[in-house]
Amino acid sequence: MGRSRASIRRLDQVSAQRAAAASAVADGKTMLTPPAPWSAPTLQPLLSRHCVHAWLVHLDQPCEVLNHLSLTLSPDERERADRYRFARDRACFITGRGTLRCILARYIGCRPGDLGFSYGPQGRPELDERTEHKWVHFNVSHSGAFALYGVAWDRRIGVDLECVRGIPEALSIARHFFSPSEYRALLTATPEKRQSQFFWYWTRKEAFLKATGDGLAHPLRNVEILNGPGDSARLLVSNGQKTDEAGWSLGRVVPPEGYEAALVVEGRNIGTEMFLWDYTGRFS
């Protein structure tokens, strides 16, 4: 995963430990096929307050697509792309940012290159004040061969995508940053299931922190996933004084094989639709 872990850094020793844990989680590159629920739409999907959209994008694209997407980037984004040492990393950045512009432009009704972004304290991009339709909220995550985008109408949203792989220190990370019940669930899981379950918890915590944009205010331990993996899972957030599960929903996102993915959105009873971005189709 190329994005920064700035949202979960601390300025003290706890911060250093948490950043180290995040670094251990953030490795891995796999090229696999998206699962069946993801399909390219034939018409532009309509966004509503009661349903958010998740877009899955394969970052490995041919040169003609990269050339097209690079034309949508701003001057500072092109400079950032040029600073990548390796061509593959440069291509992934161009694909990821160019696709974000294309997706958002379809909702807003403008050209991808006309969009402007501003960045919050944690480096999270948002549509800047020059852009109309500020009701469009979005979040981005990428890992290995894929990028995941979440788009919502006037609701905070966060997504996280991780390539599942062996992490020897998984139990140590969980002991420090997971709730007691989550840690016990990992301890009792079989070795074959422990890694995937670790990433199941991790992605949902990360997605929540990205949705709020204030990771320092919500230590990972205070973000608890109730009921474990499954459709009945719920998000529980504690700030030391009260616990609340009414303000956020866990969206349904089916990850590609070998990955784990999560979507968290502000509000309750919010649906999720999944789309595959297809550069060869109508919406390229």
- The structural domains of the chain, with segments of one domain joined by +, span 6-276
Give residues with Cβ within 8 angstroms of 117, minimum separation 6. Answer: 74, 125, 126, 127, 128
Strands (E), 194-270: 223-226, 234-238, 243-244, 248-251, 259-266
Q: What is the pTM of this model?
A: 0.83
pLDDT in tens, 49-69: 999 999 999 999 999 999 999
pLDDT, averaged across the chain: 81
Strands (E), the chain: 51-58, 117-119, 125-127, 136-143, 146-153, 157-163, 223-226, 234-238, 243-244, 248-251, 259-266, 271-276
pLDDT in tens, 195-221: 999 999 999 999 998 998 866 556 777
Q: How does DSSP classify residue 114?
A: G
> What percent of the chain lies above the pLDDT cut of 90?
47
Calculate the CA dihedral of residues 212, 273, 250, 19 and round it to 10 degrees.
-50
Judged by DSSP in three states, 2 sits in coil
In this structure, which topology does domain 6-276 adopt according to CATH?
Ribosomal Protein L22; Chain A (3.90.470)
Report the alpha-carbon distance of residue 205 to residue 17 in Å, rounded.
Answer: 17
118/12: higher pLDDT: 118
Predicted pLDDT of residue 9? 37
Residue 140 in this model has a pLDDT that exceeds 50: yes
Q: Determine the distance from the C-alpha atom of residue 89 to the mean position of all C-alpha atoms in its chain, rounded to a whole number.
A: 18
Residue 141 in this model has a pLDDT that exceeds 80: yes
